[in-house]
Structure 1
Amino acid sequence: MTLQQLEYVLALEKTRHFVRAAELCGVTQPTLSAMIQKLEEELDCKIFDRSRQPIEVTAIGKEIISQAQVIIYQSNQLKESVLSTKNAVSGTLNLAIIPTIAPYLLPKFIASFKNSYPDISLKISEMHTSTIIEKLRVAEIDLAILSTPLDDPKILEVPLYYEKFVAYISPDEPIYERAELSANDMPLDKLWVLEEGHCLRNQVFNFCHEKPIQSSTYEAGSIDTLVKIVDLNGGYTVIPELHIDLLNESQKSNLREIVKPEATREISIVIRHDFVREGMINAVAECIKQIIPSHMLDARLKKFAIRL
């Protein structure tokens, strides 16, 4: 068994097509097919069901692929560890980010990262928190940026910044006249929230009310959509602090601070417990420090580099 064979297996699992998998790996189709068949013979099992079109992964093949992903990940970790001793930051970075953070970080982050680290091939995907955790566990992504804590012993969290929530209220609502709001001031029947799967939805309910929302009519897919819904339909919603810059001056007059309790979320870089690419995680952190206002940054991140 070789790492090359495992890479061929992962490519075939991804493309479900021998020719495209061979192109992805930069080899001929007969070479890739022969190497996978040789691995199947060594393991005495079929990883792929070739009788199906497109080909399918067998039950035992799914277990093998899951392990192969971790092995390739750890192999790359070893290479990166050697590179880090030479003060080199290069290679590929597979980064995931949750949708309620992406609009505020990604536009400036991508430009800053590409300019500062041209030798790194950056791949970014938006995912919900549950998907990120799953893909971290099987080493399909390197690191992620999301809201914490996760309370998962196999995932390390490095806090980046802390972001307040503010209420966005229609002028037609009675609570619009208040200078600030507490949890008790926020009626659930007038609240517009994100759909299931967004961690921000849960955070909103944690500081508003313990009881769940009654109707799916009051759910939306993005924060920008929530704001537009309030503008046209009344009611109110809760948005993160960094979204304020995306509002026009008229919309900003609809904002109110939330107090008693103050509503805040922690945003962190999260990695597998065996992540060793210290230079890479610091590269991401340095770019984020250039984007996020200083008063929001974690105090330790302002002073120290991240050590693994």
Structure 2
Amino acid sequence: MYICIDKINIMTLQQLEYILALNKYRHFVKASEKCNVTQPTLSTMIQKLEAELKVDIFDRSKHPVQPTALGAKIIEQAERSLTEIKKIREIVLNETDSVNGTLHIGVIPTLATYLVPRFIQVFGERCSSVQLSMSEMNTATLIDTLKRDGVDMFIAATPLNEPDFLEIPLFYERFYAYFTADHPLKDIPLKPSNMPQEKLWVLEEGHCLRDQVFNFCTTTMPYNQIFEAGSIETLVRIVDLNGGYTLIPELHLPMLSDEQRKNVREIDDPPAIREVSIVIHKNFVKGRILNEVGEVFKTIIPDEMIDERLKKFAIKL
């Protein structure tokens, strides 16, 4: 018995990259710009692939262009296939003496001030052949950007409860209360349950630190709505001049003057702590670069804050 199978031409990796780009941007011109080809070239190559497969991957009558039901399945498989190809490249890179390539890291604003300058310095010394770029964004924007492959990874407070992401804890950071010098309650033992109920200055909407403040304070706690600051430094300055108090992360303490440090109080029973992690997509394949990032953070973050697992083990994908 002979079985005849219709022959189709072997699709190229380039064609797969083109359909992924078009699916991501839903616009032929934007997709072609991302792929560094002309719009007619990208369109022609996708049409050739559709002709070879004898299916429509995209519905061009929709604006913006949309994948067909079958096209969505093809795109999903294309993503998996290209990920496996990238893993082959990563295996080769892991066997070489140097780390190279590109790396785009996102970071939330309440960490960027403390982490980015030192990270750029130390990472540059360790991985001079890697083209590094870093972007400061709020958590919601970082989540959306990672889903669209706009960054390779980001640094944020976790957990995020995103099923397509992996979170690798880096360190644990305490919150401290920062009072005005003459605050009548400055010297009482502080707990989340007895935080002062007046003149709490907070960050503006969209900052994860703001959400964490209200997680460990009572949700009904009033806060000052005259001005919601965009940075910890601004909050400290507001407290100094206008009274009340705010909450600051541990990494901000070295930036305070000796006089300002007298106005800092611990929060105990339980202490207020946030987990900070590297967040990557499940299909992330740059294992060696990921470990280099971890090593840099072990260098720039105080040892007592580092996650114990990160101290002892390499990161395994």
Alignment TM class, shorter chain as reference: 0.7 to 0.9
Mapping for residues 56-205 of structure 1, pairs under 5 Å: 57-60=64-67, 72=82, 75-86=85-96, 88-176=98-186, 178=187, 180-205=189-214
- 1:247 match: 256
Q: Answer whether contact 2:200 2:224 (CA < 8 A) is retained.
A: no
The alpha-carbon deviation at position 297 of structure 1 amounts to 1.2
Q: Answer whether contact 2:203 2:230 (CA < 8 A) is retained.
A: yes
Partner secondary structure for residue 226 of structure 2: helix
Cα separation, partners in 2 of 1:175 and 1:119, compared to 1, 3 Å: same
Q: Which has the higher helix share?
A: 1
The alpha-carbon deviation at position 98 of structure 1 amounts to 1.2
Cα separation, partners in 2 of 1:303 and 1:93, compared to 1, 3 Å: same
Q: Determine if the alignment matches structure 1 residue 300 to structure 2 residue 291.
A: no
Give the counterpart letter for 1:174 in structure 2: P
Q: Answer whether contact 2:28 2:39 (CA < 8 A) is retained.
A: no
- 2:293 match: 284
Question: Which stretch shifts more, 165-174 or 6-15?
Answer: 6-15
- Give me the CA root mean square deviation: 3.3
What is the TM-score normalised by the length of structure 1? Answer: 0.81
Partner secondary structure for residue 4 of structure 1: helix
Give the counterpart letter for 2:100 in structure 1: S
Identity, % of aligned positions? 49
Inter-partner Cα distance in structure 1 for 2:264 and 2:224? 24
Inter-partner Cα distance in structure 1 for 2:183 and 2:149? 48
- 2:265 match: 256
- 1:44 match: 56
Q: Answer whether contact 2:100 2:130 (CA < 8 A) is retained.
A: yes
What is the TM-score normalised by the length of structure 2? Answer: 0.79
Give the counterpart letter for 2:56 in structure 1: D
The alpha-carbon deviation at position 185 of structure 1 amounts to 3.6
Q: Answer whether contact 2:199 2:244 (CA < 8 A) is retained.
A: yes
Cα separation, partners in 2 of 1:225 and 1:73, compared to 1, 3 Å: farther
Q: Answer whether contact 2:191 2:268 (CA < 8 A) is retained.
A: yes
Inter-partner Cα distance in structure 2 for 1:4 and 1:80? 19
Where do 5+ consecutive residues of structure 2 fail to align?
1-10
Aligned pair count reads: 301
Q: Answer whether contact 2:139 2:208 (CA < 8 A) is retained.
A: yes
- 1:217 match: 226
Q: Determine if the alignment matches structure 1 residue 269 to structure 2 residue 269.
A: no
The alpha-carbon deviation at position 134 of structure 1 amounts to 3.3
Inter-partner Cα distance in structure 1 for 2:100 and 2:83? 15
Inter-partner Cα distance in structure 1 for 2:107 and 2:75? 22
Q: Answer whether contact 1:81 1:276 (CA < 8 A) is retained.
A: no
Q: Answer whether contact 2:26 2:64 (CA < 8 A) is retained.
A: no
Give the counterpart letter for 1:57 in structure 2: P
- 1:53 match: none
Where do 5+ consecutive residues of structure 1 fail to align?
51-55
Inter-partner Cα distance in structure 1 for 2:87 and 2:158? 24
Give the counterpart letter for 1:157 in structure 2: E
